[in-house]
Structure formats: C-alpha cells, structure tokens
Amino acid sequence: MNTPCMRAAALAISTLIGANVCAQSNVTIYGVVDAATAYASNQGGKSTTYMRSGNLSASKIGFQGVEDLGGDLKALFLLENGFESDTGAMSSAGTLFNRQAYVGLQSSAYGSVTAGRQYTPYYLLVGSLASSNVLTGATGAHPGDIDGLDTTVRISNSVTYSMPAWRGLQASAQYGFGEASDGNAVGSSFSAAVKYSTAPAEFALGYLKLKNGQNGAGWSDKASGSFGISALNQGYASAESIAFIAASARYTMGKWMVGANASNVQYQAGSRSAFRDTAIFNTAGLISSYQLTPQWFLSAGYSDTFASHANGIADRARYRQLSFEQNYALSKRTAIYLIEARQLARGQTLGQDGAIVNAVASVGDSQNGTPSSNGGQTVVMVGLKHSF
C-alpha cells in the first residue's frame, strides 16, 4: 500500500538520512584563476610581450573532502587539476589531476597517512618559508627552481606520514615507489622534513632524494618524481640520482617579515649519465615583506646560486637574481599584482648535449623553457588573480 502518509514518512526518513550523511562529511570545491600580461627582455634572443597563466598563484581547480569516521579518525582526499587560464588547456596533457591526487586517514593523536600523487615534506615544510611562497614562483623562485622549493616537484605512487603538531614542531616523511620493471627502488624517492614555529620565528630543514629510472638519455618517466629542467641543469638530466638539502627561516615583526634560506643540490652521475662528476648547485637567499596597508602587500627577494667546478668546467656558473612584488587586494579573493625580476648569469655549465656552454639567465621558474640568449634577463608581469 502506498498512501500519502507513507510517502510523506519515507520522504522525511530519507531527508534525515541525507542530513546525517552531510553532517558526517564535507567536500569543498576551490580554485584560482590567474592571468597576466608578461614582458621578457630576452627569450632566445628576442624581447617578448605575451599572456601567461598562473603567475602569482597557479591557475587550478580542486576538490577536497573530509569524512568523520567516528572517534578520533577521519578519512580525507584531495584532487587538484592545473590549467592554463589563457587557453583553457590542462597544464599537463593527458593528466587530469596533475597537481595532486591522494587519499588518506587522519587522527589528531597519531597524525596522518596519505597515498597518491603529492607534494614532498621538503617543499611543504621548508618551501613554505622560502621565496616562492613569499613572492611567487614565476619570478621569485630560485633560478630555474634549481632547488625544488617551488611546486615543480611532485611525487606519484607515494605514501606520506605526518606527525601531529606538538608544541610548534611539525615533522613528515615520504617514500615514492618507482615503476621500473626491474624493481620499485629504481625511480624511487624519499623526503623528510621538520619545521619549528615559535612566534615570531619559524625554522625548517628538509631533505629530498630522487632516483632516476631506466633511461640513459634523460630523466625517466618511470621515476616517481620529476623536477624543473632549465638552462641551469639540462646537462644533468641524465643523473642517476639527485639529492636536495635545504633550510629556511623567517622572523615576523608586526607588519614586517624577514627571512633567509639556503640549499645544496647534487646531481650524481651513473654509468648511463652524460656527465661523469657530481655537479653541485648551492643557493643562498634573502626575503622580506611588508603589509603597507590592509590592501597593499609588498615583498622582495635576492638569491645567489653558484655551481661547482666539475665535468671540465673551469669557470663555474653563477646566477644572481633580484625579485619584487606589489599586490593590491580588491577583496579577500581578488587582487591586482605587479611582479618584476632581473637575473644575471656568468660562467659555464653543461648544455643539453653534455657540451660545455656559457651560462644564460632564466628568471624564476616561469622561463624554464624560454631562457635568455645571454647572461641577462628581465621579466615584468601585471595580472589579476581571483580565488574561489
């Protein structure tokens, strides 16, 4: 029998069940749309004015969810896609959630475990205090993002454990499984980092090791993690492994913030590498910001990157970069920004074919594919960012 009363009761029960489900779980859609007009003084020998996406913040859309499993346990997931706001295309063709895609469990008492495609503890803890998060990776990241302190390094097939915060201390470790046919250790990765916050100061130290897969010509697509390749390091893309060590610190005084960071990156040669000696890049950087008014935010950064004497190079490469940002908030979610950077390069490095070449400038990580034809490059961008 299907009476009006029964139908009303069924509707009421289903509504209550639905309300209970919603109360136990939460899914958020978020994102950023960022576009700018950019000027580069030298891209392969010519000055260029063009439209560019994701300059102050990467253009992206994400889905983040948390479900309360009862007691102290929660399930969580995150799916994040990067796209080009100037064309609408995906940032990585054929990979829908190219930025992040992971699922995990979380407990306030025991920490969290997540599995999938993720950022490294090295970036999340150390990079959060470095230049690309105060300025922007486009022009503020260390040249070519040589030390992976911006978002160029993501690890697939990875498992991450993060301890619960304790008296200002955070710690996390991650292992990434390679996909090579002769074992998961080929192409694997490992990262660990610690961060300590005690207002008004913050400190972080991190480590990242990337192993190449079965590829003698360059970096294997079977490796769990990749990295930013630019004019600085393209001659070392066939490395057997890469080790990153970095430290960063910040001190906040009212509206002022000052910070410092340092990193060491080692490209280690193997039997199939196109170079023979370990190549080392050291970087030291300074950052500062000032909240001039509730609307105006100003920041600046300087970095000095220098390579080691190796692989027949007598005049080692050196890259000096100065970056600025002016950000005007139209609202909590919308801002107009102006960013500028100038980089000078000198000395020599290895080119893509392994030959010794003159170092050329490559500002931040926005010019990785469009370096200067000589030792100088200036980049200026004016854009609009909206978050939702």
What is residue 9's predicted lDDT score, i.e. its pLDDT? Answer: 39
Tens of pLDDT, residue by residue, the chain (388 residues): 444 444 443 443 344 334 444 446 799 999 999 999 999 999 999 999 999 999 999 999 999 999 999 999 999 999 999 999 999 999 998 899 999 999 999 999 999 999 999 999 999 999 999 999 999 999 999 999 999 999 999 999 999 999 999 999 999 999 999 886 655 578 999 999 999 999 999 999 999 999 998 666 789 888 999 999 999 999 999 999 999 999 999 999 999 999 999 999 999 999 889 999 999 999 999 999 999 999 999 999 999 999 999 999 999 999 999 999 999 999 999 999 999 999 999 999 999 888 999 999 999 999 999 999 999 999 999 999 999 9
Nearest to 345 by CA among 232, 233, 264, 235: 232
pLDDT tens figures, 143-174 = 999 999 999 999 999 999 999 999 999 999 99
Nearest to 364 by CA among 305, 309, 316: 305
What is residue 213's predicted lDDT score, i.e. its pLDDT? Answer: 81
What is residue 222's predicted lDDT score, i.e. its pLDDT? Answer: 87
How many degrees, rounded to 5, is the angle at CA 110 between CA 124 and CA 197?
A: 40
Q: Are 346 and 232 in contact (CB under 8 A)?
A: no
What is residue 318's predicted lDDT score, i.e. its pLDDT? Answer: 98
pLDDT tens figures, 212-221 = 986 667 898 8
Q: Is the model's pTM score more than 0.95?
A: no
What is residue 16's predicted lDDT score, i.e. its pLDDT? Answer: 36
What is residue 183's predicted lDDT score, i.e. its pLDDT? Answer: 58
Preceding amide of 200 cis, omega within 30: yes
What is the per-residue burial (b if ≥16 Cβ within 10 Å, else e) of 42-74? bbeeeeeeeebbbbbbbbbbbbeebeeeeeeeb
Torsion on CA atoms 284, 169, 200, 288, rounded to nearest 10: 30
Strand pairing report for 318-329 and 155-162: unpaired
The C-alpha atoms of residue 252 and residue 258 are separated, in whole angstroms, by: 7
